Structure 1
Amino acid sequence: MPLVGVTELLRKAEAGGYAVGAFNCNNMEIVQAITAAAEAENAPVIMQASQGAIKYAGIDYITTMARLAAEQTSVPVALHLDHGTSFEQVVQCVRSGFTSVMIDGSKLSLAENIKLTKRVLDVARAVGVSVEAELGKIGGTEDDITVSERDAFFTDPEEAKIFVSETGVDSLAIAIGTAHGQYKGTPKLDLERLEKIKSLVGIPIVLHGSSGVPDDAIRAAIGLGVRKVNIDTNIREAFTEAARKVLEANPREIDPRKMLGPAREAAINIIREKIRVFGSDNKA
């Protein structure tokens, strides 16, 4: 089927009390793995491209691969821009065929973030594209942050209420203790903060940096209103580990298919696991 928007997927997730998995892609094998896993689990799925993916593969390759994968799949597939950095880039992605975009103004002041998000919404809404925004700072795991500093980075519930009221954004990414990349320890989510924010904003909440967060914590967050869960690092880990095993078993292997085939299967398996954790299996 054609690529779909994210708003409708999250609306159904809200009604059903589950979350839709948003999986990062940057090459053909991972694009294929995302849709194969979604098909196998009969689940809606969000394929998303980051700055790095667009730089690596090129926006036209990403859009074309996602569109083709969706057309060959019977479950709903959306294509989402992950962490869009500028109005110009969002417009480029919309023109290219992305059905959903994220504008990340989290490093800006609240007023400037609202201004930028509203500008993006004006363009996206005109063509039926979903918009996600971010409030609070979701760090990288290399950041050396103390507990007090960590709390300062978290999303302020009252600011979230103002932000959503002023913008009317479709979904909101918040900072409650996750981080991008590989965790050094086990992350502890601020579920009380999540519950407070959800009660004030009423829209679907997005959890970034979810690779490495324990399944029970993810389920608890979904129970409190998270409707989109982003996964990237876990896919990379499974993909590269499978390819590495092939090379370790046969260091003289020169056929990329012999490495990337098992890597794709490993990615399918981890994505299927995540879909079941999110509760979106059999929700297509």
Structure 2
Amino acid sequence: MRLGFNCVMFDGSGLALEDNIESAKEIVKQATKLEIDVEGQVGRIPSQKERINRDFLTDPETAACFVHQTGVNALAISVGNVHMLIHKEFSVDWQRLEKIDKLVSIPLVMHGGTGFPDKLIKKVINKGVHKFNVGTILKKVFLEELRKNLTQKDLDRINPQELIDSTSERDILKKACSSIKETIKTKLEAYGSAGKVKM
């Protein structure tokens, strides 16, 4: 927190509820002194290799209690979302999301944004989701661009200095970063975030 971040995320979802509350409360106390927002989490978000268990899902009343007792600024929830989902989309428990939105007055956070269906983005935004966490698709795009560029090169005949960190048009890292930027632009448009920051 002392490195200049304006927001931190504490995932205590693997703890007993009482321990999650106490830990989050202490983090909020320290963060408030530094004018830093804190995102907490209630409910467990599975990875793509796990079977979704209803016990993982966020209980609306528990979420409201957690927010009230901790003072977190945003809440990550589990409503069917799945970490690292690439080849398929997950389904949202709409009744659960609506109830959480009614009981919790702070912004909700959707982890597992890579597997979230684009056609439902506006709908969940209207149900209180203010932030999507997206990482897997960015890593995938980066690696795919690297692979594409490496397979096009005869590595025995090329100067490695030109391929990596040269900032020339042949720099494969520069190309991979450009592909991430394009993906981010697409996501910003989908989330309705494009053009919101004043430069």
Secondary structure at the aligned position of 2:69 is classed as helix
Report SS of the residue matched to 1:186.
coil
Paired-residue identity, % = 37
Correspondence 1:280 to 2:193: yes
1:136 to partner: Cα distance: 0.1
**1:185 maps to which residue?**
88
Q: Which residue of 2 aligns with 1:136?
A: 43
1:261 to 151, 161, 174: 174
Q: 2:12 aligns with which of 97, 102, 105?
A: 105
Q: Say which structure is richer in helix.
A: 1
2:55 to 152, 174, 177: 152
Contact 2:86 2:137 in 1 (8 A): no
Check conservation: 2:141, 2:179, Cα contact below 8 A. yes
Report the Cα offset of residue 222 of structure 1: 1.2
CA distance in 2, matches of 1:185, 1:231: 15
Out of 190-199 and 253-262, give the one that drifted further: 253-262
Cα deviations by residue, 1:4-29 (Å, 9 ceiling, x for unpaired): xxxxxxxxxxxxxxxxxxxxxxxxxx
Q: Secondary structure of 1:211's match?
A: helix
**TM-score computed with the length of structure 1 as normaliser:** 0.63
Residue 242 of structure 1 contacts residue 263 of structure 1 at CA under 8 Å; is this kept in 2? yes
CA contact (8 A) 1:219 1:278 kept: yes
Q: Please give the per-residue CA displacement for 1:21-63, whole angstroms capped at 9, x wherever unaligned.
A: xxxxxxxxxxxxxxxxxxxxxxxxxxxxxxxxxxxxxxxxxxx
Asked if 1:241 corresponds to 2:144, the answer is yes
Mapped to 1, the partners of 2:94 and 2:173 lie a distance apart of 38
Conserved? CA contact 1:189–1:217, under 8 Å: no
Residues of 2 paired with 1:119 and 1:181: CA distance?
30
Write the letter of the residue equivalent to 1:103. F
1:123 aligns with 2:26: no
Please name the residue that 1:202 is paired with: 105
- Write the distance in 1 (CA, Å) between the matches of 2:92 and 2:29: 33
Bigger relative contact order (CA 8 A; separation at least 6): 1
Higher Rg: 2
Can you list the C-alpha shifts for 1:235-274, whole angstroms capped at 9, x where unaligned?
Answer: 1111111111111111414221421111011001000000
d(CA) in 2 for partners of 1:99, 1:198: 24
SS in 1 for 2:115: coil
Aligned length: 187
Q: Is the Cα–Cα contact under 8 Å of residues 82 and 115 in structure 2 kept in the other structure? A: no
Contact 2:43 2:57 in 1 (8 A): yes
- Aligned-pair distance for 1:184? 4.8
Question: What TM-score, normalized by structure 2, do the two folds share?
Answer: 0.89
Query: Whole-Å Cα distance in 1 between the matches of residues 75 and 35 of structure 2?
Result: 18
Q: Distance in 2 between matches of 1:251 and 1:133?
A: 49
- Displacement of 1:191 in angstroms is 2.1
Task: List runs of 5+ in structure 2 lacking aligned partners.
Answer: 166-170
Q: How far is 1:208 from its partner?
A: 0.4
Q: 2:115 aligns with which of 212, 220, 238?
A: 212
Moved more, 245-254 or 200-209: 245-254
Q: Equivalent residue of 2:25, what SS?
A: helix
Given that 1:141 and 1:184 are in contact with CA atoms closer than 8 Å, whether structure 2 keeps it comes out as no
